[in-house]
Structure 1
């Protein structure tokens, strides 16, 4: 992976299979997300990835932090700034973005995102009206679960960057009618109108 300099320190993303192997030890749901989730849905590599993203449920954060007890873990609190996340500390409800590296001063290796849940339902953290069964959030791939492309695209839709537009373009032909319909409805719920809706069909 290329080394990328950022205001919050350099990124040198760990290999996806190494991160997946680490999270196989977690006795709670987790999903490979971000650009890799889209690429796995497409079935081939079509762009470089600056990081590795893993989604977990907020209610499992204690188990996640225990899994990473030997890592240097920081929470984006407030957004745009990082602070250490000690083992055993519950994160406040507004924090959902976590950066992880082997040791202080080293490059960041992967990123965690905290998702919300209500019983056996996954809840979209930006709009709680958007929900679906937890069992439908992940798709088995290479021995782990990847976030479904329609959910990942919903996260990417708020303020699209060139890589988000590329991800949408590449994965669009691979969406089932059901996935496209779900995303179209979710976009309408959150945004009212969105440029992707027409391309998702009717």
Structure 2
């Protein structure tokens, strides 16, 4: 895996198979997000990845400390400061990312992303009106690795799009069926208002709904 540099130390992302092995005992749903999830959806890589994102629900996030027992876990406090995640500490709603490395002298390997839920319904931390049943937000990729559904990946990439997000959009859009496109278009419209992707998704009717 490629190594990248940050002010808080180097990143050398773990391989998806290694993450899958580490999270084999995680007692709740989890999904790969970000670039590696795009790769699983497509069946091939578009680029090198600077990190690897693992999404869990806030209701389950303390279990990460058990799965990664002995690792260094640092919470990202807005607007961008890292600080140790204390054992047993319930992270507040504004803290959505945790950087993880096996030891202080090793690079960061995994980023945990914490998202919201209500009962058995996933709710976007960006817009609580955007929601789906927890069981519907994931797919299973090669090797049995769970990852976020492509339309949800693109929903998160729609905010402040970068060149790599545009590349991912162009690659993933052909994979979406009519219902997935409808969901994505309405989720983006409800969250962002106008957006250049909407015309490319195509005409859709209805609302994202909750499916819960």
Structures share a fold, TM > 0.5? yes
How far did 1:105 drift?
3.2
* RMSD over equivalenced CA pairs, Å: 1.0
How far did 1:113 drift?
0.3
The 5-angstrom pairing of residues 1-40 of structure 1 reads 1-40=1-40
1:31-88 CA distance string (max 9 Å, x none): 0111111121112112111111100010111212222121100000133110010221
Q: Under a length normalisation based on structure 1, what TM-score does the superposition of the two structures give?
A: 0.97
The 5-angstrom pairing of residues 26-65 of structure 1 reads 26-65=26-65
Equivalent-residue separation in structure 2 for 1:3 and 1:43 (angstroms): 23
In structure 2, the gaps of 5 or more residues are 204-212
- More divergent stretch after superposition (122-131 vs 8-17): 8-17
Look up the SS of the partner of 1:24 in the other structure.
Answer: helix
Look up the SS of the partner of 1:22 in the other structure.
Answer: helix
Equivalent-residue separation in structure 2 for 1:67 and 1:199 (angstroms): 41
How far did 1:175 drift?
1.3
Look up the SS of the partner of 2:61 in the other structure.
Answer: helix
Q: Under a length normalisation based on structure 2, what TM-score does the superposition of the two structures give?
A: 0.92
Equivalent-residue separation in structure 1 for 2:192 and 2:46 (angstroms): 28
- More divergent stretch after superposition (166-175 vs 114-123): 166-175
In structure 1, the gaps of 5 or more residues are none
Equivalence for 1:145: 146
Equivalence for 2:191: 190
Query: Hey, which bits of structure 1, 4+ residues long, moved more than 3 A?
Result: none
- Alignment of 1:172 onto 2:173: yes
